Structure 1
Amino acid sequence: MLGPMYEERASRVRGAVAWTRAAAPPGTTGRVLPDGCMDLLLWNGELVVAGPDTRAHPAVERRGLPVYGLRLPPGAGPEVFGAPAWQLRDQRVPLDALWPAAAVRTLGERMGERIDRAADPLAELESAAAVRLAGRYGTAGGRRDAALLETVVARLRGGAGVAPTARYVNLSERQLYRRCRDAFGYGPKTLARVLRMQRALRMAASGVPLAETALRTGYADQAHLSREVRALAGVPPAELVCGWG
């Protein structure tokens, strides 16, 4: 969910979003919705990896500090963090459990220096991710793999079914499932559900009535939309839309 304390911008890391949430009082709780992505965060003063969610994740502020995040595009997380996405599903993991402790310490120190100078600390997250993504876009094989995953996301986001998507990218459904599980943390059916929910919530937040939103985003009706949003987010869509933007 977005809000007046939240700001984002396009990242210099291809397909990523750099975002900041202003400090909130300790004990403040929030709801992080599934979006098919993984994030690199400075949260509660610690560098943390947010794995791919299959349900809303409750976020609790412990120290009342700003949160800085880099939301990686779907499928890019494993390249950055060095682990298949399914291993991080529905988890928040300290970055030093995945990266060398010295690298994490250096990144934290550089971000702290930028915060002290009132400079943009997100630039350090972007630089760290860009180095690890160099192989993704720097070789022919890496570019082919990235293009395949981007195509899968685009087709599922557009409403294509799993079987047609698998045929389109010349994979069997079982192969597509394995690729999706490693890249996104779950299979293509779950990814499609998450992407469709995000599309529907953004459409509804723009002022489109829920009944029309449901039909335009591929749900059978408004009741179907409500059931899916409750299953993934834990609350009805109207409650989420009211807190959006």
Structure 2
Amino acid sequence: MYEERPARLSGAVVWTRAIGPADPGSRPVLPDGCMDLIWADGRLLVAGPDTRAYVPGSPAARYAGVRFAPGQAPAVLGTDASALRDERVDLAGLWGARTARRLADRISDAADPATALESLVLRRAADAPAPDPLMRTVAARLRAGVSVGRAADEVGLGVRQLHRRSLVAFGYGPKTLARILRLRQALALVAAGVPYAEAAHRAGCADQAHLAREMRSLTGMTLTGYAARAGYRARPH
């Protein structure tokens, strides 16, 4: 069972998941432009920004996580997002084995690991440099459907400058982020019962075929296959 709620850190989400008979744990995690700090059966892990679907090989029984808003995690975690692209790494590799073990034990011993993990993130964020404010604006503008060139102009950056800063903040360039955010918007519409063609149009794709190509490119799945695995009632037309 999966549940989530807004975090006390602005823009972030706290989530939990318990693997059981109704949730075997093999459901793919699709790219979303975000990074996560995850407690999984006593271990602390960092999920980097994905450019393809991720399927856990050996899922844990219990998870708690904080999903950061796009561009928010690098300052808190102390690493460029591009260093973790398409990776799942032990927190020990970033903060040291002793620190990671101590924090993991503290969260494991807590009555509510999700709340304990959220408190850890809040403490780290309070002591960390502020995230790049221009990248937060860029993410918001790309989510709204503006072009990369226009987003760069609006924040006063050249396209190459924007690309370099996007690698640090998001893990990939702004064009990739725009594609991922557009796909997520389309899938949210599909989940709400919107027909594929209409979802494609409303999300900013040229047509349904464009959405289908993006789905295959970024997830390796078809729209119908994804809807079936997620339990949605697909409406192709």
Is 2:50 the partner of 1:50?
A: no
Contact in 1 for aligned 2:77/2:94 (Cα 8 Å): yes
In structure 1, the partner of 2:235 is: none
Structure 1 residues 1-150: aligned runs within 5 Å? 5-24=1-20, 28-62=25-59, 64-114=60-110, 119-135=111-127, 142=130, 146-150=132-136
Q: Distance in 1 between matches of 2:11 and 2:40?
A: 22
Q: 1:189 & 1:109 partners in 2: Cα distance?
A: 40
Q: Is the partner of 1:194 in helix, strand or coil?
A: helix
1:177–1:187 contact (8 Å) kept in structure 2 = yes
* Residue equivalent to 2:175: 189
Mark the runs of 5 or more structure 2 residues left unpaired by the alignment: 233-237
RMSD of aligned residue pairs (Cα, Å) = 1.9
Structure 1 position 30, deviation (Å)? 2.5
1:21 maps to amino acid: R
Provide the rounded CA distance (Å) in 2 between the counterparts of 1:127 and 1:234: 36
In structure 2, give the amino acid aligned to 1:59.
P
Q: Please give the per-residue CA displacement for 1:150-187, whole angstroms capped at 9, x wherever unaligned.
A: 21011101111111000000000000001100000000
Runs of 4+ more than 6 Å apart? none
One-letter code aligned to 1:240: Y
Moved more, 234-243 or 68-77: 234-243
Pairwise CA distance, 1:27:
7.6
Which secondary structure does the structure 2 equivalent of 1:239 belong to? helix
Report how many aligned residue pairs link the two structures.
Answer: 230
Counterpart code for 2:15: W
Contact 1:22/1:66, CA 8 A, preserved across alignment: yes
Is 1:155–2:155 an aligned residue pair? no
Q: Is the 8 A contact 2:143 2:178 kept in 1?
A: yes
1:216 and 2:212 equivalent? Answer: no
Q: What TM-score results when the alignment is normalised by the length of structure 2?
A: 0.91
CA contact (8 A) 1:27 1:61 kept: no
Shift of 1:44: 4.5
Q: Is the 8 A contact 1:107 1:124 kept in 2?
A: no
Amino acid at match of 1:84: D
